[in-house]
């Protein structure tokens, strides 16, 4: 059959894989979000030991490949008796990884919020916690949108690495199909196309979101 | 050797819907210093850029020393190397020392030998009073110094005419004097200059003729004495009065 | 037991070293191809023909940035076979990730060019330089300097992406690690930790060296106009 017939016939299987891809991405970015905020706040407002721990974590994660981190979780942990399923290893690995990068974006965005804001918040009697929660974070979240959108798109693309630890996402489905029909190149053209479509749609949605949340006068660039 | 260095005829320029220049014509003789004055936003800077074609005019013709430079067949880069331009924002090449800023045109456009180019560049820098700042970078120099380097850069190319686009408008008041001094000396030495400026003192004492422009047309043209004391148009008188009030007669 | 582990590390050293070397070669290849293709793309996009920019440059950049690196690797590796071209996994990797890096680097350089004020080009043309000369002598030197910080980011990203070449069989560091684990029925955790350390050292060293480069070519007094140091995004 020709290329289009092939593409049509493999689409259902690929879409099953796509669902897993999106699940992995969604869960990982959420884990990363919570971890990232904690790390960022720790680095800015925490005491010396918290700062050191957080900074070390961020530097180490950012200094090593995601693939290595996934391998450590999936192939390495069994050495000390911890067996993770591919899906679990994928979301933990990517979540921990994304957390380190999001920490940096949040940190940059917090620092971009004018220092006067914190001073003003304290001057009306808010303690540090309240000031961060009601004044700093809301502004920071708006400033960080471009970087965060970038991170989401990045995760969609790099979820493909979960294939290497045997997670049944889009890449894996592609490989399974190719192993059966030997038309690897064409299969992966379709896979590439699916990623392209996801990325395009996601970018558009994030764009619209950014415009909706914009506060007049408050720039949406993190610096 | 012709008398007329620059002839500008019927220059028109539109930006989108707005007509910025509505038919400008004038001439500049060899050795003359002509100063263009007028309210901001009336197209004075655009006019200068139309002359060396950095902004191509929509209509009109320009002659430089007899050569019609608005002709599409003309090598505009060659022409530009005979016209000097000094910008309001200096526009010194940020990554080059003062010496290199002045030298680069000589070496890369006029293809001079390094030794010759260096000697010439040094001479021009000394001429503007910056012989000791040759290895300084633009960011290390004051505004006045930067502008003087930019004049040296223009001079080094041995231009037939220098265009000055509000050369002192971006300078701190105390630095304006050093730049005006260089310009006055140039005028005395016989350089042909077309200057857009608010410096009324300079205009009054150095210009051979002043052109008053408003809303894209030339309102009046004449010797400084005449414009300042007996302007032909009411608008000219109003403007000069206002601006002399505002800026005083600095730069003498 | 600890001694066993240490002996294991010691014996694996040569393999790991070979793997590291391949990793470095891959990285150099990616960045090199990316630079050679990326710079013209950037300048073409800013100063060139608008038609070419829209029909060739823009789609190239969009596509190579939107498709995951792993997918690109597969496409080049398996695609070459489909079209009858003999290509080693190493070559396929260099092309796939190299062109991808070109797409990203073109954006880095484009940003740098655009942050150089328009006055620089005007001044260059006003003394009679052609567009080409102006780009060569005035714009390019400044653009390269301004590009170093984001390019350092790209370096780190590419170095880490070299691990993906594992998927098409290139014997870089991760694959060497895998072989060691398989050969010795060894402690996977330990082996991959060592790999992680090696990557970390490579990234750290590279960053430091590029930092020195930035210092060396800094234009005295010239502040990076875009305000405080931007937290660089991963790409």
Dump pLDDT digits (tens) for C9-35: 678 889 999 999 999 999 999 999 999
Each residue's pLDDT tens digit, C201-220: 999 999 999 999 999 988 88
Is B138 exposed, middle or buried (CB count within 10 Å of its CB: 0-12, 13-18, 19+)? Answer: buried
Going along chain C from its start, the domains and CATH numbers come out as: 2-234 (1.10.3720.10)
In a domain, A221, yes or no: no
CATH number at residue A85: 1.10.3720.10
Alpha-carbon span B44 to B37, nearest angstrom:
8
In a domain, A218, yes or no: no
Each residue's pLDDT tens digit, B145-174: 999 999 999 999 999 999 999 999 999 999
Contact call for residues C160 and C69 (beta carbons, < 8 A) = no
Question: Looking at residue C10, what is its pLDDT?
Answer: 77
Range C188-198 average pLDDT:
93
In a domain, A171, yes or no: yes
Each residue's pLDDT tens digit, C83-121: 888 889 999 999 999 999 999 999 999 999 988 888 999
Question: Looking at residue A38, what is its pLDDT?
Answer: 95
Question: Looking at residue B2, what is its pLDDT?
Answer: 66
DSSP C80-146: HHHTT----HHHHHHHHHHHHHHHHHHHHHHHHHHHS-HHHHHHHHHTT--HHHHIIIIIHHHHHHH
- Cβ contact B–A (≥3 pairs, < 8 Å): no
If you measure CA to CA, which chain C residue comes closest to A110?
C231
In a domain, A222, yes or no: no
Report the sign of the C-alpha dihedral through residues B96, B97, B102, B106, in that order.
negative
Question: Looking at residue A218, what is its pLDDT?
Answer: 59
Number of domains in chain A: 1
Question: Is B109 an 8 Å CB contact of chain C?
Answer: yes
| pTM score of the predicted model | 0.83
Question: Looking at residue A119, what is its pLDDT?
Answer: 80
Inter-chain contact C196–A196, Cβ cutoff 8 Å? no
Question: Looking at residue B1, what is its pLDDT?
Answer: 53
By residue range, what is the domain housing residue A15? Answer: 3-213
- Cβ contact A–C (≥3 pairs, < 8 Å): yes
With beta carbons under 8 A apart, name residues in chain A contacting C229: 223
Distance from CA of C108 to the nearest CA of B (A): 19
Residue C4 has pLDDT above 90, yes or no: no
Each residue's pLDDT tens digit, C115-153: 888 899 999 999 999 999 999 999 999 999 999 989 999
Residue B250 has pLDDT above 50, yes or no: no
Give the residue with greater pLDDT, A174 vs B16: A174
Question: Looking at residue A222, what is its pLDDT?
Answer: 37
Question: Looking at residue B60, what is its pLDDT?
Answer: 94
Question: Looking at residue C141, what is its pLDDT?
Answer: 93
Question: Nearest 10 degrees: CA dihedral of B208, B213, B216, B219?
Answer: -100
In a domain, A173, yes or no: yes
In a domain, A223, yes or no: no
Q: How many interchain CB pairs under 8 A, B with C?
A: 81
Bridge partners for B62 per DSSP: B8
Contact call for residues B63 and B69 (beta carbons, < 8 A) = yes
Range B28-48 average pLDDT:
91
With beta carbons under 8 A apart, name residues in chain B contacting C124: 93
Complex ipTM: 0.88
Question: Looking at residue C204, what is its pLDDT?
Answer: 95
Each residue's pLDDT tens digit, B180-207: 999 999 999 999 999 999 888 899 889 9
Residue B232 has pLDDT above 90, yes or no: no
Which of C117, C119, C121, C123 should be substituted to probe chain B, the one whose Cβ sees the most B Cβ atoms within 10 Å? C123
In a domain, A141, yes or no: yes
Range C49-68 average pLDDT:
91
Q: What is the pLDDT along chain A (223 residues), one digit of tens a residue?
A: 788 888 899 999 999 999 999 999 999 999 999 999 999 999 998 899 999 999 999 999 999 999 999 999 999 999 888 999 999 999 999 999 999 999 999 998 888 887 778 888 888 888 888 888 888 888 888 888 888 999 999 999 999 999 999 999 999 999 999 999 888 999 999 999 999 999 999 999 998 988 887 766 655 443 3
Question: Is A161 an 8 Å CB contact of chain C?
Answer: yes
């Amino acid at each position: 059959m020709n290329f289009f017939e092939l593409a049509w016939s493999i689409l259902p299987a690929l879409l099953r894989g796509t669902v897993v891809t999106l699940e992995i991405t969604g869960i990982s970015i959420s884990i990363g979000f919570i971890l990232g905020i904690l790390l960022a706040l720790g680095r800015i407002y925490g005491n010396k030991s918290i700062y050191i721990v957080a900074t070390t974590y961020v530097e180490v994660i950012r200094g090593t490949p995601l693939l290595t981190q996934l391998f450590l979780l999936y192939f390495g942990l069994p050495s000390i008796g911890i067996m993770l399923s591919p899906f679990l290893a994928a979301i933990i690995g990517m979540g921990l990884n994304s957390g380190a990068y999001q920490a940096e974006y949040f940190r940059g965005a917090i620092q971009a919020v004018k220092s006067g804001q914190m001073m003003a918040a304290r001057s009306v009697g808010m303690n540090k916690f309240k000031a961060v929660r009601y004044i700093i974070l809301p502004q920071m979240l708006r400033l960080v949108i471009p970087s965060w959108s970038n991170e989401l798109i990045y995760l969609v693309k790099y979820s493909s690495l979960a294939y290497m630890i045997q997670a049944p996402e889009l890449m894996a489905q592609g490989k399974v199909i190719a192993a059966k029909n030997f038309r690897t190149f064409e299969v992966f053209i379709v896979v590439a196309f699916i990623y392209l479509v996801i990325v395009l749609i996601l970018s558009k949605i994030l764009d619209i979101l950014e415009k909706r949340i914009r506060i007049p006068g408050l720039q949406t660039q993190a610096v | 050797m012709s008398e007329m260095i620059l002839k500008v005829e019927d220059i028109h320029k539109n930006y989108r819907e707005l007509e910025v220049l509505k038919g400008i014509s004038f001439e500049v003789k060899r050795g003359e210093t002509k100063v263009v004055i007028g309210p901001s936003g009336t197209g004075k800077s655009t006019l200068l850029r139309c002359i060396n074609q950095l902004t191509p005019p929509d209509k009109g013709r320009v002659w430089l020393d007899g050569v019609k430079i608005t002709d599409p067949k003309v090598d505009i880069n060659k022409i530009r190397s005979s016209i000097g331009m000094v910008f309001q924002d200096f526009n010194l090449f940020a990554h080059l020392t003062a010496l290199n800023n002045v030298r680069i045109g000589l070496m890369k456009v006029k293809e001079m030998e390094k030794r010759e180019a260096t000697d010439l560049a040094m001479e021009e820098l000394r001429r503007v009073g910056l012989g000791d700042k040759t290895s300084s970078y633009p960011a290390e120099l004051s505004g006045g110094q930067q502008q003087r380097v930019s004049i040296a850069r223009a001079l080094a190319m041995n231009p037939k005419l220098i265009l000055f686009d509000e050369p002192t408008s971006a300078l701190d008041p105390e630095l304006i004097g050093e730049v005006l001094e260089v310009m006055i000396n140039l005028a005395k030495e016989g350089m042909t200059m077309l200057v857009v400026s608010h410096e009324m003192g300079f205009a009054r004492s150095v210009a051979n003729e002043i052109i008053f422009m408003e809303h894209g047309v030339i309102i009046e043209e004449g010797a400084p004495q005449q414009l300042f004391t007996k302007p032909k148009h009411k608008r000219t008188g109003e403007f000069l009065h206002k601006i002399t009030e505002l800026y005083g007669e600095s730069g003498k | 037991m600890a001694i066993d582990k240490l002996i294991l590390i010691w014996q694996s050293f040569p393999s790991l070293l070979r793997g590291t070397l391949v990793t470095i070669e891959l990285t150099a290849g990616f960045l090199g191809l990316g630079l050679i293709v990326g710079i013209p793309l950037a300048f073409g996009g800013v100063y060139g023909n608008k038609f070419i920019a829209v029909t060739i440059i823009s789609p190239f950049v969009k596509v190579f940035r939107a498709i995951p690196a792993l997918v690109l690797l597969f496409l080049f590796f398996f695609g070459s076979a489909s079209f009858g071209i003999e290509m080693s996994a190493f070559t396929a990797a260099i092309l796939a990730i190299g062109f991808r890096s070109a797409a990203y680097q073109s954006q880095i350089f484009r940003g740098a060019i655009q942050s150089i004020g328009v006055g620089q080009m005007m001044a260059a043309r006003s003394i009679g330089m052609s567009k080409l000369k102006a780009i060569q002598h005035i714009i390019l030197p400044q653009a390269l300097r301004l590009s170093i910080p984001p390019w350092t980011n790209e370096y780190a990203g590419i170095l880490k992406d070299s691990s993906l070449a594992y998927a098409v069989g290139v014997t870089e560091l991760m694959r060497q690690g895998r072989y060691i684990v398989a050969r010795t029925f060894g402690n996977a955790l330990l082996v991959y930790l060592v790999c992680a350390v090696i990557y970390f050292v490579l990234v750290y060293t590279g960053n430091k060296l590029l930092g020195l480069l930035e210092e060396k070519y800094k234009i005295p007094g010239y502040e990076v106009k875009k305000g405080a140091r931007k937290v660089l995004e991963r790409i």
